[in-house]
Amino acid sequence: MTAPVIICPYVFDSDVESVRRAFRLDEPAGRHLPFFLWKDENRLGPEMAMETCWNRFPDRDIVIMHSDMAPMPDDRTNQWYDDLLGYVDAMPEAGMLGCDLLYPLKSAKNEWLVQNAGGFFKDGKIGWIGGGVEVGQGIISDAARPYGDDLKKVRRAGWVTFGGVYIRRAVLTACGQFDRRYRWAYVMDVDYCLEARSRGFHLFQVPVTLVHFESRTLKQVEWMTPKNVDQLNENYRLFYEKWGTWLARSNDSF
């Protein structure tokens, strides 16, 4: 298998140092990782920056990484990458394979908490396994879910978040660019997952874990302006208008 490219768009120059340090890219433990770091100079937004990056490598599979992600603290050799490629080799039916993303905060019982361990649709609406933690404020709500044995296995997914995800080139070739009716960020990865599923590709979550600080860059650049919040709401409206009938007919039971 040709090695994939790990695309990692970023906004701030300091993000590069954070990524290099987190993944030990300047050490033997990380030099084999095929990272492609690309600065979003024009603030295209996460998804459009991802698309710009994967278009640079038209013949390769990709792994999407965010600049606010890192290996688990005890993973000092980037074993997560080898484990992910193992699942890729063993699961040729998988068009996308999502890693389980955990918060950097633990519960009072010293349990890792789930940021995103796979998306689903309930009553035709977008949902996901995880949430309930405000990392910056150190707040853990009752909705926070520990990363238990029930999640530490391969699972079908209705959608996968575009961070810590392996996407085969066949999917990108078949689906093409993001739907240009959406703007800025959010919902676009869910839409792309349904574009892939509607073309017969299968999506899975695999028990490969990464730490995710959750929207650290977005919060730094204060992208959640009133205008962008309005656009986010419009993105949701477009999504449900586009996929409502398809979701009603599908049988998402995972």
From CA 245, how far away is CA 170, in angstroms rounded? Answer: 26
Q: Which pLDDT does position 223 carry in this prediction?
A: 62
Residue 43: pLDDT band by 50, 70, 90 thresholds?
confident
Residue type, 130: G
The pTM assigned to this predicted structure is 0.94
Q: Convert the pLDDT of each residue in 196-246 to its tens digit.
A: 999 999 999 999 999 999 765 555 445 667 777 788 899 999 999 999 999
Q: Convert the pLDDT of each residue in 44-85 to its tens digit.
A: 889 999 999 999 999 999 999 999 999 999 999 999 999 999
Out of 78-92, 150-164, 176-190, least confident range: 176-190
Q: Which pLDDT does position 3 carry in this prediction?
A: 87
Kindly tell me if the per-residue pLDDT of 173 is higher than 90: yes
Higher pLDDT: 98 or 254? It is 98
Q: Convert the pLDDT of each residue in 180-192 to its tens digit.
A: 999 877 899 999 9
Q: Which pLDDT does position 214 carry in this prediction?
A: 76
Q: Which pLDDT does position 125 carry in this prediction?
A: 93
Q: Which pLDDT does position 23 carry in this prediction?
A: 98
Kindly tell me if the per-residue pLDDT of 94 is higher than 70: yes
Kindly tell me if the per-residue pLDDT of 1 is higher than 60: no
Q: Which pLDDT does position 136 carry in this prediction?
A: 84
- Structure tokens that stand for 115 in this block: 């940021």
Q: What is the largest CA-CA distance in the chain?
A: 50
Q: Convert the pLDDT of each residue in 124-147 to its tens digit.
A: 999 999 999 998 888 999 999 999
Q: Which pLDDT does position 2 carry in this prediction?
A: 74
In the chain the domains, ranked by start, together with CATH numbers, are: 5-249 (3.90.550.10)
Angstrom CA distances, 207 to 6, 20, 26, 92, 96, stand at: 19, 24, 26, 17, 14
Contact 121, 252 (CB under 8 A): yes
From CA 3, how far away is CA 26, in angstroms rounded? Answer: 19
Number of other CB atoms surrounding residue 74 within 10 Å: 7
Q: Which pLDDT does position 215 carry in this prediction?
A: 60
- Structure tokens that stand for 89 in this block: 């080799």
